[in-house]
Structure 1
Amino acid sequence: MGCGRNLESSSSSVHGIKKKDQCICDVVRAIKDIQDQATDNDCPVCPTNCFLEPLGGLVSPSRHQADTRVFMLLTKDGTPFKAFFRDTDRKDCDCFSVFFRVEEIFDGCCATLRVLEPLDYHHKEVDLLNDCGTKLDLRKICKVRDFRLSSSCITVDLNCFCGIECVADVYLGVCD
């Protein structure tokens, strides 16, 4: 159960069947569906809504080339969830990211997420850790302007998160 809620406060009854509150699961499932389909609708009022369709409409002036909705997951205390990724250039050790792409959803609320490498405006890697390399430096997240696919994926239980923030729709050449 996500966010430390108890069973009574996180259950709802639909046609007499109790269903756990799966807010994050529903959003990630919607992101996956949006990534998988190609539709063309008018943009709603809120430009960073995770349910915004079509893919490419989220904080992006060009819709035609997006193949990924980048998002962050937030833990119970509101901090971004971070994951390790294998850095292929081997020149540095900036190998943690808070940015993800959904690859697969299974068993109701489990997901395989691809860890995305954060890049700055000049397409240089952004090290999100503090100078000691021990904690996430939230100020460095503001330097991120672009992303690159990593070869690292992580499987998570989406019930363990309290928030999700969609960041951008981007083209990463997933099928190239």
Structure 2
Amino acid sequence: MSCGKHHDSGNCVCDILKEIVAAQNDVLSDCNTSCEQSIGDLLGDTGGSGHDTVPVLLYCKGTCKPFKGYGARRDSIEHIKSSFYFRVKDVDKDCCATLELLRDPDDKDCNPDSPVDQETGHLRATGICITVDLFCFCHITCLPAITALS
């Protein structure tokens, strides 16, 4: 399998995220790449684990640095949070994606400097969503499937 078996937008990152959305939606209502393995785990291809999310990291074109998103909860705008880890919520036909920030509730650093500085032991959905243009990214890292919704 190449870069997203069910989509062919011409953008590899977009195609993978569309595939993750489709897999996550299936959970909620022969290659072994990390993204394919995570999608398989999510769908139960390897025994079913009850997970609902494939956490992803995205890397910006040009700099190849990990992308960090920022946002705040509606009721707490003075407490801006950031994250390098996302749950893809939707990808439209133009490859604009809605991403939800994932954070470990025990992580007290609201603005980590790199993905390795951020606590990831119990990544959870935050309800903080951002919209991104997937043509701005050149690389995606998929982490093992987790249960992020609680």
State the TM bucket, normalised to the shorter chain.
Answer: 0.7 to 0.9
Decide which structure has greater helix share: 2
TM-score of the two chains, using structure 1 as the length reference: 0.64
Deviation at 1:137, TM superposition (A): 3.4
Structure 2 unmatched ranges of 5 or more: 1-7
Match of 1:124 among 106, 120, 132: 106
TM-score by length of 2: 0.73
RMSD over aligned CA atoms reads 3.2
Q: How does 1:143-158 map to 2 (within 5 A)?
A: 143-158=119-134
Count of residue pairs brought into register by the alignment = 137
* Cα distance in 1 between the residues matched to 2:86 and 2:115: 16
For 1:9, the equivalent position in structure 2 comes to none
Q: What residue ranges of structure 1 are gaps of 5+ in the alignment?
A: 1-18, 39-43, 131-135
Deviation of 1:129 after TM superposition, in Å, equals: 3.7
Q: Which has the larger radius of gyration?
A: 1
Name 1:172's counterpart in structure 2: 148
Q: Residue 117 of structure 2 aligns with which residue?
A: 140
Kindly state the Cα deviation for residue 171 of structure 1 after the two structures are TM-superposed: 1.1
Task: Render the CA deviation track for 1:75-109: whole Å, top value 9, x for unaligned.
Answer: 12221111113269x7xx67110111111111331
Percent identity over the alignment is: 29
The runs of at least 4 consecutive aligned structure 1 residues that moved more than 3 Å come to none
Which has more strand, going by share of residues?
A: 1
Mapping for residues 54-93 of structure 1, pairs under 5 Å: 54-55=41-42, 63-76=48-61, 77-86=63-72
Shift of the 171–139 alpha-carbon distance from structure 1 to 2, 3 Å rule, reads: closer
- How far apart, in 2, do the equivalents of 1:147 and 1:51 lie? 20
Preserved CA contact (<8 Å) 1:56 1:63: yes
Q: Among 98, 102, 113, which residue is 1:112 paired with?
A: 98
With over 3 angstroms needed to count, the CA separation of the structure-2 counterparts of 1:126 and 1:146, relative to structure 1, is: farther
